[in-house]
Structure 1
Amino acid sequence: MEALLLSRIQFGFVISFHVLFPAFTIGLSSWLAFLEWRWLRTRDTLWRDLYFFWLKIFAVSFGMGVVSGIVMSFQFGTNWAVLAERAGPILGPLLSYEVLTAFFLEASFLGVMLFGWRKVPEKLHFLSTCMVAVGTLISTFWILSANSWLHTPAGYELVDGMFHPASWREVIFNPSFPYRLAHMALAAFITTCFVIGGVAAWYLRRGVHEEAARRMLRLSVAFAAITVPLQILAGDLHGLNTREHQPTKVAAMEGHWHHGEPGAGVPLVVFAVPDATAERNRYEVAIPRLGSLILTHSWDGEIEPLTAVPADERPPVAPVFYAFRIMVGIGMSMLALTWVSLWAWRRGWLDRSRWLLDAWRLMAPSGFVAVLAGWFVVEIGRQPWAIQGLLRTRDAVSEIGPLAVAVSLGTFVVTYAVVFGAGGGYILKMIRKGPQRFEPDPDTGEGDRTPMRPLSAADHGETDDAEAQEASL
């Protein structure tokens, strides 16, 4: 295996791990801000207990996200030195702006958020939580701007083979950036929403933390009812933008190889086995004209087929084709589950239906899968370009041997399995333990150093089962 393919595999492996953590912490930080706001408004202790429960999970997830992000940055110099050299005048400042704005903001307030309870005024602690949430969104802004520029470069000039900014406004707000920013931010919120809903459903099925679980599940359903339709709309607008600026990627997503008969429109391929050698789909199941309606918003619209460009300018079709259907399929499943849950909530049996709770449990990790599938569509669909239409991936890789890349890839796999396996296991352990009753020290009023006992339903005026009562004692 040559160094180019190994470097692509390594970068794909690292970014796949990294994107999972921002996809969770972006939404989770806003969820924490909501919980603390509710506590300050109502003084209902359950909101406070839920805040501390999710705060611990956020802290571990945030730490793993930072670690994986640092490793990803190093690869620009080790594996993609040509890209870093030629696009450095543009990518370097964009990534630096993230550090100067998002990281500095988060670093300033994260310590207060994690350790400042009862040590600073309540409003200052709430401000710290809000600033951390804002920081994660600012980080998303700059990262998506830099990545989108690679897909739709704008505002640059070439000087001695290097890309220099001619207009920072056009560089930052490149043609695909607004659509990709909205799509990714909504994906992060939805990912967190379904994790919270899945955890709540698991508690309800076990009969523990019932009042906390009811609130979390109902809030998840309400939030999903807003964001999932918005995500479908954002995805449609993003698709229209991609058809304009990266038509070959859209053709790969749809498995569209050739122009059809005039006026026949583009079919929606539900399932197929793309055959790049024969330039056609095998075992195709398609719905006539529906592809035109979705992709062009007209009954007989056309899109550029894969054969409109030479074979060496097409992305690998199969992974893009299948990943896109996984992402869309999960999105439709989320929408269906949300609608059914709203109906069940209205009927009064949302938290009592076993099959509905099991569905939420099953869908808990669905946001992560959809985010990964979306990133595979975006990044693999850009191939063979590192910078769309300007710099090929094979010309952007560092001049290093395949053995060196293979060794570093193997090291990453082993290290990530140990480090992130342990971190993920610890998060699952905290989730199994559930929310704890916050009990401040009677003398100092500080609760950070005081052990917290398991939160039982009796703490909120309910009858708990024997196991929870025993754990509470």
Structure 2
Amino acid sequence: MFQGVDAVVLARAQFAFTMSFHIVFPAFTIGLASYLAVLEALWLWSGREVFINLFNYWLKIFAVVFGMGVVSGIVMSYQFGTNWAAFSDKAGPVIGPLMAYEVLTAFFLEAGFLGVMLFGLKRVGPRLHFLATLMVAIGTLISAFWILSANSWMQTPAGYAVNADGQFVAADWLKVIFNPSFPYRLVHMVLAAYLTTALVVGAVGAFHLLRDQHLAGPRVMFSMAMWMATLVAPIQILAGDQHGLNTLEHQPVKIMAMEGHFQSHKDGAPLYLFGLPDQAEGQVKYAIEIPKLGSLILKHSLDAPMAGLDTVPRENWPPVPITFWSFRVMVGLGFLIMGLGLFSLWARWRGALYQFRLLHMFAMAMGPAGFVAVLAGWITTETGRQPFTVYGLLRTAESASPLAAPAVGSSLIAFVIVYFAVFATGVIYLLRLMASPPHPGEQGPSHDAPARAAGITPAAGVVAEGSA
């Protein structure tokens, strides 16, 4: 069935498929854990019942999402040994310890407090329970720290040496961890997680406000979500711009692919809004462009010269069409999220935040936008790094295990079947939970048998984000 198909292509497709499923869960749990900590803090500070009702409502959803993240994350680590053994051998002395640090910090923090957070409110008291919630939220952020450090090192390797066996080893761990792209990527990802959560919370609140605008819980969750979109979306756009400038400095070929710059421009590069990149012919067909704006954005000068892919050997070109379009999807959704925030700010100023049906329908439509933007951003980052796994040092073709295409293809088909069956069931259950509004006296997961059936027990302190 897979005769004649490149095994490396199939291995990349398998990793991309499983990673695409996995990454949306950490993006949601990072933001949702922090949101839960804020809700519980507001309840302890104000004593208002609406906050503890919302906390218990979203805690049940967090429990299921966390469990799904665990299941999808376990698969990721196995692929390093099965499909990418050469990469594991050469980069393992650097990547392995970073993964271990994540386990020794985030894993034990989450494992120690997750059970208390999910089932312990009536057992340990409100203040200790809030500490547990806060520790889980901090644990998700620490997990993101280490995983992004490892991935960022693959993007912008620093602080390494190569030993006699051809392996990358750490010469300076601080330079390895805090490699040039890491601070920008960490900020960009954490803000993306917060916006993703805000959009889901806002969509659920809008859904219930369309049914009954007087419900206290949906009013509070919608207001909080819209404040997050209003305040954080512009910051995210600014962070993305700074990340882009960092990428231009350290991964210029990725920027060429993102911008569709096949040709060099000596006196100012255009900004291609849309077009059809043709990699074979080395041009963007049917381009809609704004002259010199690309140079203004990237180098803050209309006439600044910009190198193109014509200065790079073709064997080092990334797949331009997918990088070009995924980048535009991410940026376009970012501006739509900012538009939603500004729309809600205008409605709030008019005193119509809970009555404006058009705003509520817009918020519902934007509910999945954070997940799509995260996926588009990840695709941009990873495809733009090709044809390397360690940028400029280790090619993807040299990183794969010596497996035959039928073996990789068979496991890919198995993953597709199992993932769609298992995760479709989980998503349907989550939508059922969200379809009911929070009620007075809302109970948490300890009173919810389906959450336990999903695999969330006090001992299920397995890192969801750690397998990214």
TM range (shorter): over 0.9
Aligned with residue 369 of structure 1, among 364, 369, 372:
372
Counterparts of residues 356-395 of structure 1 (less than 5 Å): 356-395=359-398
- CA–CA separation in structure 1 for the residues paired with 2:128 and 2:329: 43
**Which residue does the alignment assign to 1:25?**
29
Aligned with residue 56 of structure 2, among 43, 49, 52:
52
Deviation at 1:216, TM superposition (A): 1.1
Counterparts of residues 167-178 of structure 1 (less than 5 Å): 167-178=172-183
Counterparts of residues 411-422 of structure 1 (less than 5 Å): 411-422=414-425
| 1:400 equivalenced with 2:370 (yes/no) | no
**Which residue does the alignment assign to 1:284?**
287
Q: Percent identity?
A: 53
**Which residue does the alignment assign to 2:187?**
182
- CA–CA separation in structure 1 for the residues paired with 2:97 and 2:137: 23
Deviation at 1:277, TM superposition (A): 1.2
**Which residue does the alignment assign to 1:35?**
39
- CA–CA separation in structure 2 for the residues paired with 1:42 and 1:447: 23
Q: What is the letter of the counterpart of residue 347 of structure 1? A: R
**Which residue does the alignment assign to 2:65?**
61
* Gap change, CA 1:126 and 1:301, over 3 Å in 2: same
Counterparts of residues 91-102 of structure 1 (less than 5 Å): 91-102=95-106
- CA–CA separation in structure 2 for the residues paired with 1:246 and 1:332: 24
Q: What is the letter of the counterpart of residue 102 of structure 2? A: E
SS in 1 for 2:310: helix
SS in 1 for 2:38: helix
Per-residue deviation, residues 139-193 of structure 1 (Å, max 9, x unmatched)? 0000000000001001010012000100000000000000000000000000001
**Which residue does the alignment assign to 1:458?**
none
- CA–CA separation in structure 1 for the residues paired with 2:79 and 2:154: 16
Superposition RMSD in Å: 1.5
Per-residue deviation, residues 6-54 of structure 1 (Å, max 9, x unmatched)? 0000000011111000000000000000111111111111111110000
8 Å contact 2:316–2:386 — kept in the other structure?
yes
Counterparts of residues 424-439 of structure 1 (less than 5 Å): 424-438=427-441
| 1:238 equivalenced with 2:239 (yes/no) | no
- CA–CA separation in structure 2 for the residues paired with 1:149 and 1:450: 42
| 1:126 equivalenced with 2:130 (yes/no) | yes
8 Å contact 1:117–1:447 — kept in the other structure?
no
Deviation at 1:303, TM superposition (A): 2.6
Aligned with residue 266 of structure 1, among 243, 254, 269:
269
**Which residue does the alignment assign to 2:350?**
347
Q: What is the letter of the counterpart of residue 203 of structure 1? A: H
Q: What is the letter of the counterpart of residue 337 of structure 2? A: M
Aligned with residue 168 of structure 2, among 145, 150, 163:
163
- CA–CA separation in structure 1 for the residues paired with 2:404 and 2:440: 56
* Gap change, CA 1:248 and 1:45, over 3 Å in 2: same
**Which residue does the alignment assign to 1:333?**
336
- CA–CA separation in structure 2 for the residues paired with 1:450 and 1:316: 47
Aligned with residue 324 of structure 2, among 321, 326, 340:
321
8 Å contact 1:255–1:281 — kept in the other structure?
yes
8 Å contact 2:53–2:442 — kept in the other structure?
no
- CA–CA separation in structure 2 for the residues paired with 1:439 and 1:425: 21
SS in 2 for 1:269: strand
- CA–CA separation in structure 2 for the residues paired with 1:373 and 1:362: 18
Deviation at 1:436, TM superposition (A): 3.2
Q: What is the letter of the counterpart of residue 178 of structure 1? A: P
8 Å contact 2:218–2:437 — kept in the other structure?
no
* Gap change, CA 1:323 and 1:64, over 3 Å in 2: same
SS in 2 for 1:300: coil
Deviation at 1:325, TM superposition (A): 0.5
Q: Which moved more, 1:206-215 or 1:265-274?
A: 206-215
Deviation at 1:449, TM superposition (A): 4.5
* Gap change, CA 1:450 and 1:67, over 3 Å in 2: closer
Q: Which moved more, 1:290-299 or 1:366-375?
A: 290-299
Number of aligned residue pairs: 444
Deviation at 1:340, TM superposition (A): 1.5
SS in 1 for 2:281: coil
SS in 1 for 2:400: coil
Q: What is the letter of the counterpart of residue 415 of structure 1? A: V
TM-score, structure 2 length as denominator?
A: 0.93
- CA–CA separation in structure 1 for the residues paired with 2:177 and 2:311: 30
8 Å contact 1:46–1:212 — kept in the other structure?
yes
8 Å contact 1:221–1:338 — kept in the other structure?
yes
| 1:71 equivalenced with 2:71 (yes/no) | no
**Which residue does the alignment assign to 1:203?**
208
SS in 2 for 1:436: coil
Per-residue deviation, residues 323-381 of structure 1 (Å, max 9, x unmatched)? 00000000011111111210110111121111111000000110000000000000001
Aligned with residue 135 of structure 1, among 135, 139, 142:
139
Per-residue deviation, residues 213-249 of structure 1 (Å, max 9, x unmatched)? 1111111111122211110111011000000111111
8 Å contact 2:160–2:170 — kept in the other structure?
yes
Q: Which moved more, 1:25-34 or 1:300-309?
A: 300-309
8 Å contact 2:59–2:445 — kept in the other structure?
no
**Which residue does the alignment assign to 2:254?**
249
Deviation at 1:302, TM superposition (A): 2.6
8 Å contact 2:57–2:442 — kept in the other structure?
no
**Which residue does the alignment assign to 1:148?**
152
Per-residue deviation, residues 60-95 of structure 1 (Å, max 9, x unmatched)? 101111111110011000000000001110000000
Deviation at 1:447, TM superposition (A): 10
8 Å contact 1:205–1:354 — kept in the other structure?
yes
- CA–CA separation in structure 2 for the residues paired with 1:212 and 1:141: 33
8 Å contact 2:323–2:383 — kept in the other structure?
yes
Deviation at 1:208, TM superposition (A): 6.8
- CA–CA separation in structure 2 for the residues paired with 1:62 and 1:447: 13
* Gap change, CA 1:450 and 1:341, over 3 Å in 2: closer
**Which residue does the alignment assign to 2:456?**
none
SS in 2 for 1:412: helix
**Which residue does the alignment assign to 1:213?**
218
Q: Name stretches of at least 5 consecutive residues in structure 2 with no aligned partner.
A: 450-468
- CA–CA separation in structure 2 for the residues paired with 1:207 and 1:405: 51
